[in-house]
Amino acid sequence: MKHMSLRVPVFTFLLVTFVVSCGKSNNNVPPIVDTAGNKEVSFTSNDATSAYNNFNKYLYNTNAKLYYRASDKSGIAAIWTQAIYFDMAMNAYKRTNDPQYKQLIEDLYQGNYAQYAGYNWRNDVSWFIWDDMMWWIIALSRAYEVTGDQKYLDHAKAGFDFVWNGDASINRIGSYDAATGGMEWAWKQRGKTACINYPTVIGAMTLYNITKDEAYATKAIGVYNWARTNLFNATTGAVADNKVDNNPADWTVHTYNQASCIGAAVMLYKKTGDAKYLNDAVLAADFTKNKMSDADGILPFEGGEEQGVYNAILAQYMIRLIEDGGKTDYLAWLRKNINYAYAKRSSSTGLMGKDYKTTPPAGVAVSAYDACSIPALMQVVPPEK
């Protein structure tokens, strides 16, 4: 599950411990060397394909068309993370134009359709947390952008409307708080989290880019403004995890919250041309790079089970800052992380864990959450030429 402070029945925010080296500088970091002391080897496009294919070989259930929880074929990965794996398939297809990945997009759609009530957002057995829905709304919107298949857009539009407004006929109050602004995290418990607010901006702006309906952009700007006021440190670039009612914000930081803030800001910058949004994105990225990463510039990881997927989300939105924001200087940092982790891949499976400095132990199952982040980065970050 996502960080447990937001998954317990009562909204008690627990201290989550994870590896963060606050305040460490990434200047003049030493080069990465392999075990023989050789100079860092840069990954290639073929490596990116190999890493993604290994991820699918060991973690994709071809019968259910879903991802396993782990490489021992146990369980099913969490509903919201299946959306991130769906994103990975789209990025692999965009990178390679390989028809097998286009087919995988359709297969994953069908597998998740069967598993999760046909994307019936009103089914509160499958869909009861707003951010789970929003990750899927974003991914389905992107699937329309990639394939042009109308069914993806229809699901995404219906989902966004339901998250925003709810449905009085089934006593579901929507996520948007019209009185004070911002988005609630789950319909049965209060708390406005970064993981629903910034993804809502991304979902709205993706739908705006498709439909050119200004209502989506207006919603995006309103939610972003609330989040910036309540969840963003405009001095450091840190993104708070959540804020409940009038209580102080919880300033526990996670890379996926930094990521969605970056993505939201860049999308608004791209529409408006207003540099204030780009400046926010750079602040959030710099905090992730310079404060959350270690002295070598290697991204942090967290101990909870689902947290390994966080850097896969970072991949999705750092590349938007690089390409749409023109901030190509971040490429060297992301490539270093990829190279470091890829050098530590398992010799038997090619899988990588969420600790990029450690090879997964032989004979021990690797979580889909942990194994996804480097293949995700490799699909969007171009190799060094």
What pLDDT sits at residue 385?
A: 80
Record the pTM. Answer: 0.91
Q: How many residues does the chain have?
A: 385
CATH node for 4-8+42-165+173-380: 1.50.10.20
Listed in sequence order, the DSSP H helices in 11-78 are: 45-59
User: Helices 79-96 & 310-323, crossing angle to 10 degrees?
Assistant: 40
pLDDT of residue 36: 46
Cα(238)–Cα(254) distance, integer angstroms = 9
Report how far residue 196's alpha carbon sits from residue 130's, in angstroms, rounded to the nearest whole number.
Answer: 7
Q: Which residues pair with 205 in a beta bridge?
A: none
| Residues 71/371, Cβ–Cβ less than 8 Å | yes
The total of other beta-carbon atoms located within 10 Å of residue 271's CB is 16
DSSP reduced 3-state for 61: strand
In the chain, which ranges are continuous DSSP H helix?
A: 45-59, 79-96, 99-115, 130-147, 150-165, 194-211, 214-231, 255-272, 275-287, 310-323, 330-343, 368-371, 373-380
Handedness of CA 196, 201, 86, 150 (dihedral sign): positive
Instruction: Report the candidate in 189, 185, 312, 280 with the shortest Cα–Cα distance to residue 242.
Output: 185
Q: Are 211 and 151 in contact (CB under 8 A)?
A: no
Amino acid at 372: C
pLDDT tens-digit profile, the chain (385 residues)? 454 334 333 333 332 332 223 333 333 334 445 444 555 789 999 999 999 999 999 999 999 999 999 999 999 999 999 999 999 999 999 999 999 999 999 999 999 999 999 999 999 999 999 999 999 999 999 999 999 999 999 999 999 999 999 999 999 999 999 999 999 999 887 899 999 999 999 999 999 999 999 999 999 999 999 999 999 999 999 999 999 999 999 999 999 999 999 999 999 999 999 999 999 999 999 999 999 999 999 999 999 999 999 999 999 999 999 999 999 999 999 999 999 999 999 999 999 999 999 999 999 999 999 999 999 999 999 999 8
pLDDT at 374: 98
* Per-domain boundaries in the chain: 4-8+42-165+173-380
Tell me which residue has tokens 């609330």. Answer: 226
What is the three-class DSSP state of 10?
Answer: coil
What 8-state DSSP symbol labels residue 9? Answer: S
Q: How far apart are CA 106 and CA 57, in angstroms?
A: 18
Distance, in Å, from the CA atom of 344 to the CA atom of 361, rounded to the nearest integer, reads: 11
> How far apart are alpha carbons 136 and 140 in whole angstroms?
6
Residue found by looking up tokens 């972003």 in the block: 224
Whether residue 291 contacts residue 278, with contact meaning beta carbons closer than 8 Å, is answered with no
Cβ–Cβ < 8 Å for 336, 26: no
* 249 touches 240 (CB < 8 A): yes
